Structure 1
């Protein structure tokens, strides 16, 4: 048996926690059974007795109701399950990070491919990318150069991302934001799977190399023995 209802710890209790057992100081409660069935309005003393007989806790789940709603449950198990759900929710949260890539309007093809590669990597990881075109001197009078470059980049990575914020002029710069098609959590799962597959492939290759080396070492002594057996001592003499 669970024993008598737990008492409040010295110094009071955390206000954000549900009140349980003898912390419930009202005269009567609207009682809900352990399976969710409605018992009705009962004196709090009777509800506490029922909780003790069932080896459960009396938990106040709706303190603002009149009278408060209380439920018979295993409070320790309830707290554990809630903590598990909270951890799972935090784990599945999508923390989208905004990366930034800066380009010049007259960037050469090699540098463009390098910058595009970084953008592809960011989008594959589930991150947003802010593309900034930096104008200098007379380039400021040719905004169409920046616009065409941003348009080209968006088209080149269209399978991985989309234009979340269209190109806009901001002083000497022109900016555009690309959003990933993949969610952050999905990208992490894919990255982990790819990493595990690569590790498995490498392990298989190493095992194959070891097997070949072992086979080579075993064949060498046999070859030497074969040569010795074919030698005729009389002929050599």
Structure 2
């Protein structure tokens, strides 16, 4: 992303602060307009002639860079382990951890470790409760899977 005086083109295709098209303008005039409004002139692509540029506040440019970094990073699957006999407070802590991970863009694998053969139904009920509570932040990738000594479900971020 090229900003302000680093733009070497003679003319630019200018877009305003609210996204309105201002047409093809000499670069010097576009820079003067940006200085008058106390914003930056940002070139979005160098592959076109004249290059498309827009007026943007410094905070908006920084925020776009951060969003681009987040989108570049592949989502990781983070695993949270639970037991069917979890205390209420511990369950809230795990729920807030899962919420934070989902908001951060990572997928969450909720795994309930079973010790006895009769805990399967309890584990499924626990996973159902957690997926309903985390519905605003993530959606199920699969249904609840139970195999051997564990029951699990994966939630992907929205």
In structure 2, how many angstroms separate the alpha carbons of the residues matched to 1:63 and 1:119? 57
Contact persistence 1:58–1:72 (CA under 8 A): yes
TM-score (norm 1): 0.39
Equivalent residue number for residue 27 of structure 1: 10
Contact 1:123 1:129 in 2 (8 A): no
User: Is the CA contact 2:113–2:149 (under 8 Å) kept in the aligned structure 1?
Assistant: yes
- Unaligned runs of 5+ residues in structure 2 are 69-74, 99-108, 129-142
Give the drift of 1:21: 0.8
Q: CA deviation at 1:157?
A: 3.3
Higher helix share: 1
4+ residue stretches of structure 1 with deviation over 6 A? 83-86
Structure 2 residue matching 1:67: 3-state secondary structure: coil
Q: For the aligned residues, what is the CA RMSD?
A: 4.1
CA contact (8 A) 1:32 1:72 kept: yes
Q: Which has the higher strand share?
A: 2
Q: Spell out, residue by residue over 1:75-121, the C-alpha distance to the aligned partner (whole angstroms, 9 max, x if none).
A: x23245558879xxxxxx99742427xxxxxxxxxxxxxx6424985
TM-score (norm 2): 0.55
Aligned match of 2:81: 99
Higher-RCO chain (CA-CA 8 Å, sequence separation at least 6)? 2
| Superposition pairs of residues 70-149 of structure 1, within 5 angstroms | 70-74=53-57, 76-79=58-61, 81-82=63-64, 96-99=78-81, 116-118=84-86, 121=90, 125=94, 126=98, 128-129=110-111, 131=113, 149=117
Matched with 1:161 is 127
Distance of 1:165 and 1:66 partners within structure 2: 55
Alignment length (residue pairs): 123
Of structures 1 and 2, the larger Rg is shown by 1
Partner residue of 1:89? Answer: none
- Contact 1:28/1:41, CA 8 A, preserved across alignment: yes
| 5+ long unaligned stretches in structure 1 | 1-17, 87-92, 101-114, 134-147, 168-173, 184-237
